[in-house]
Amino acid sequence: DAGITQSPRHKVTETGTPVTLRCHQTENHRYMYWYRQDPGHGLRLIHYSYGVKDTDKGEVSDGYSVSRSKTEDFLLTLESATSSQTSVYFCAISVGMTSTDTQYFGPGTRLTVL
């Protein structure tokens, strides 16, 4: 499972509050990703990182920010949560840097914004 953990696993929050989700890996892989999963949409990329302090936007980045101060941790922040951000959030790592490499996924965080 590539040693990926996510915390918290479940969270309920209210509209307008800030929320931070954490992804931790134990194997020092360079590439890390945040996806959201919604019915009918599959997984959509929010942000990704290709190294410490190196991040870039994905397909659905509006309303989200990320930080990576250590190789092993990739944080996803919702500055002011909205109900449209209710979703299941998955972190992933890539074992390599090319498009042939497999991505491994964490167990997910179920976020509900009331």
Q: How far apart are the first and last CA of the chain?
A: 32
Size of the site for another protein (CB under 8 A): 30
Residue 64's closest CA among 31, 42, 87, 93? 87
Which of residues 20 and 44 has its CB atom nearest to another protein in the complex? 44
Among 3, 24, 58, 67, binds another protein (CB under 8 A): 58
Among 20, 45, 52, 71, binds another protein (CB under 8 A): 45
Residue 33 as a binder of another protein (CB under 8 A): the answer is yes
Helix, strand, coil share of the chain (percent; to 5): 5, 60, 40
Residue 97 as a binder of another protein (CB under 8 A): the answer is yes
